[in-house]
Structure 1
Amino acid sequence: MSDETPQPDRLEGAPHPRETLQLIGQDSAEAAFLEAFNTGKLHHGWLLSGPRGVGKATLAWRIARFLLATPDPDDGGMFAPEPARSLDISPDHPVARRVASGGEPGLKSVTRSVNPETKRLRQQIVVDDIRALNGFFQMSSADGGRRVVIIDAADDMNVNAANALLKMLEEPPARATLLLLSHQPSALLPTIRSRCRTLRLNTLGPDQMRAALAQSGVEITADADALAALSGGSVGAALRLSLLDGTRMYGELLGLMDTLPLMDRPRALKLAEAAAQRGAEEKRALLFNLIDLFLSRLARTGATGAPPLPRVSPKEPSLLTRLSPDARQGRIWADVQQRVSARAQHGLAVNLDPAVLVLDTLLSISESAPSKAPSA
């Protein structure tokens, strides 16, 4: 695949999910799939759900390699093979080699495609992307082998694409398995959900996060505990934070918030101007995510009486406690979070001046800080 080809199912700077052979922290999901396979109850449609970045795509590619490389379970005769104990397939297996090179004829990956007219990546999976699967099923059915489709993400399908997929799920091709990845399954058509078996993937703890980051091949300079806290247990989010220097950005945000209730205006303006620089779109989006996270942690501190775990930095707990000393202030921060998040999303969508948007967000936070907060 050309380096210039957009890959919406891959985080820039990180390996593609098909290159990650091991999946960490999702043993129960793997075990559920293996049980269905070994008992001959393999469903034709599987919905892999969970937050972004917890391993749904990695699991889908592991399942694809496994299905295409593993013979069907026997009916229990004297020469029946041992039940499969793992989804692991050796990298040297011919199927694994073909999958790695993108040349496996029994596998099709569906993502947002490039619009041939604009030459830009579409914002949705369109009906033609789904209808193209008909040709794939017809061409690959001659040898009678399995066929696997990965749709990443099913959330990206427009209405027509979703309806076309629904028809395939209602009348599935023989020996075909469709793996649908969804970050928000409640937004999918109920009829699509009802025709799939769901595998729910969970967020990762700090130790699992360390292991997952270690195998990513990406140089990680940030503290693993900080990444676990800021990412919400999502490996994908942690990699993004690391690649965009997100822990440093959050540290700058904490430093600014430590000047409340009288926010340091020049410091706020400097942060806003940095976020408004040309080519800083990803960092700007990350900044708003970090602001949202900070407000969420403030609200939880007030509601529970203690800063949430894991801790991002040694200084963060005292700051959260100072700015959110009780349940009343926690409710104020929860309202602020909802208001500024909606404002930021709208502003980014309509291309408001980013410096003004960032500064407006920071000043809104300043106005809601307790006026007589004691010094940290």
Structure 2
Amino acid sequence: MSEENDRPDQAPGAPHPRDTTRLIGQDHAEHAFLEAFASERLHHGWLITGPKGVGKATLAWRIARFLLATPDAGEDAGMFGAPPPPTTLDISPDHPVSHRMAAWAEPGLACITRSINEDTKKLRNEIVVEDIRKLGKFFGLSAADGGRRVVIVDSADEMNTSAANALLKMLEEPPARTTLLLVSHQPTRLLPTIRSRCRILRLSPLGPDDMATALAQTGIELPQNSDHLAALASGSVGAALRIAALGGMEMYAELVGLLASMPRTDRARALALAEAAAQRNATDKFELLLNMFDILMSRLARTGATGEAPLPEACINESETLRSLGGNAQKGRAWAEVSAEITARTRHGKAVNLDPASLVLDTVFKMQETAAR
């Protein structure tokens, strides 16, 4: 393995998944893998699915470390028989495999992510067939630690068609003693034949207590009102880190303030949002702003459907604003419909490279129109 300067498999401000040795709140998935390992019928392909930021990549790296450091069941059988099967994926940080993985020097592991385009020197938007074909050389190297190899693809959703077909051939005819771990946020985007050749490990959003523990583990300084952050992140540690790093809590509070002025619209606030979205090199913040719009309209629709604003609040005075503009079933349906319309318009606008500021203003005016109804 070799480390790249720009890693698409690492959330902004968060440690890389290989360095997050403890996985919070996903014991069921770990136990399912350990049961398969102990059965001596370990499947060669595993599809690790669930929402973004709940620990899928962390689990993949934990499994990889475990497989490369743990002999097969029965391999260590001595005069007193084989030792009991492992009950945890934990591997000591002092183990040689842990040291090699920390140094990106483990010969039995290959990690496939979006790569740098040698012509443009920029990170590609997808995993290309050349990235998958590199595995041929990896499989051809001499085996280490008894011949076991592990491949992590993060994320498999980002493979283009040629890359997906190349990986499918490996799943159909897997090299001996090889385990492929596919991280997938949206498994429906994968070829059905890829899904059918993998065992699935599903991870779930984290509850409030697990979220607090997982965020504390990252070592980042959390905002004062962590309840607001937890509400916006919806059980995803990765989302929480991204929101905190890019000022998402402030964005959301500004959107709620803008919504509170409707059906009249505070044009100065709307223009300030639009101008911020149009700044050079602000792509990540623009994407996060669109996500904050989605969250706001989703919470509006939920308020109408249930008659109560979601708790905890995602910012100060949010509940009052949501009840005012989305407090009954009819209003909730209207916000759900406009949310779907805005998502489609935004997707089209991005596809034709519409100015980000225009997209933001268009979204604000659609919200104003809905509030006026």
What TM-score bracket applies, with the shorter chain setting the length? over 0.9
1:23 alignment partner in structure 2: 23
Partners of 1:323 and 1:346 lie apart in 2 by: 27
The answer on whether the counterparts of 1:209 and 1:224 sit within 8 Å (CA) in structure 2 is: no
The answer on whether the counterparts of 2:2 and 2:105 sit within 8 Å (CA) in structure 1 is: no
Taking structure 1 as reference, are residues 142 and 245 closer, same or farther at Cα in structure 2, changes over 3 Å only?
A: closer
What amino acid sits opposite 1:172 in the alignment? P
What amino acid sits opposite 1:38 in the alignment? A
1:262 to 261, 264, 274: 264
Give the drift of 1:2.
Answer: 9.2
The answer on whether the counterparts of 2:8 and 2:113 sit within 8 Å (CA) in structure 1 is: yes
1:99 alignment partner in structure 2: 101
Counterpart secondary structure, 1:369: helix
The answer on whether the counterparts of 1:50 and 1:200 sit within 8 Å (CA) in structure 2 is: yes
1:353 to 332, 352, 355: 355
Partners of 2:186 and 2:363 lie apart in 1 by: 27
The answer on whether the counterparts of 2:252 and 2:315 sit within 8 Å (CA) in structure 1 is: no
Partners of 2:366 and 2:108 lie apart in 1 by: 54
Q: TM-score, normalised by structure 2?
A: 0.95
1:289 alignment partner in structure 2: 291
| Corresponding position: 1:55 with 2:55 | yes
1:163 to 156, 162, 165: 165
Counterpart secondary structure, 1:180: strand
Taking structure 1 as reference, are residues 234 and 209 closer, same or farther at Cα in structure 2, changes over 3 Å only?
A: same
Partners of 1:224 and 1:211 lie apart in 2 by: 12
Partners of 1:360 and 1:2 lie apart in 2 by: 44
What amino acid sits opposite 2:304 in the alignment? G
What amino acid sits opposite 2:15 in the alignment? P
Counterpart secondary structure, 1:43: coil
Where does structure 1 lack aligned partners over 5 or more consecutive residues?
372-376
Deviates more, 1:75-84 or 1:258-267: 75-84
Partners of 1:4 and 1:19 lie apart in 2 by: 15
Taking structure 1 as reference, are residues 71 and 131 closer, same or farther at Cα in structure 2, changes over 3 Å only?
A: same
Q: Deviations over 1:43-90 (max 9, x none)?
A: 100000011111000000000000001111128873311210110111
Counterpart secondary structure, 2:174: coil
The answer on whether the counterparts of 2:253 and 2:316 sit within 8 Å (CA) in structure 1 is: no
Partners of 1:153 and 1:124 lie apart in 2 by: 9
After superposition, residues 32-181 of structure 1 pair within 5 angstroms as 32-74=32-74, 78-141=80-143, 144-181=146-183
The answer on whether the counterparts of 1:140 and 1:147 sit within 8 Å (CA) in structure 2 is: no
Give the drift of 1:142.
Answer: 6.8
Deviates more, 1:204-213 or 1:215-224: 215-224
Counterpart secondary structure, 2:11: coil
The answer on whether the counterparts of 2:152 and 2:181 sit within 8 Å (CA) in structure 1 is: yes
Partners of 2:238 and 2:86 lie apart in 1 by: 29
Taking structure 1 as reference, are residues 79 and 13 closer, same or farther at Cα in structure 2, changes over 3 Å only?
A: same
What amino acid sits opposite 1:16 in the alignment? H
Where does structure 2 lack aligned partners over 5 or more consecutive residues?
none
Q: Deviations over 1:253-300 (max 9, x none)?
A: 111111112111122112222222222221111111101110011111
After superposition, residues 240-255 of structure 1 pair within 5 angstroms as 240-255=242-257
Give the drift of 1:252.
Answer: 1.1
The answer on whether the counterparts of 2:249 and 2:315 sit within 8 Å (CA) in structure 1 is: no
Partners of 2:86 and 2:129 lie apart in 1 by: 36
Q: Deviations over 1:185-229 (max 9, x none)?
A: 111111111111000000111111111111112222253221221
The answer on whether the counterparts of 1:323 and 1:370 sit within 8 Å (CA) in structure 2 is: no
- Which runs of 4 or more aligned residues in structure 1 lie more than 6 Å from their structure 2 counterparts after TM superposition? 1-4
Give the drift of 1:3.
Answer: 8.6
Deviates more, 1:308-317 or 1:48-57: 308-317
The answer on whether the counterparts of 1:151 and 1:179 sit within 8 Å (CA) in structure 2 is: yes
Give % identity: 63
1:374 alignment partner in structure 2: none
Q: TM-score, normalised by structure 1?
A: 0.94
2:225 alignment partner in structure 1: 223
1:8 alignment partner in structure 2: 8
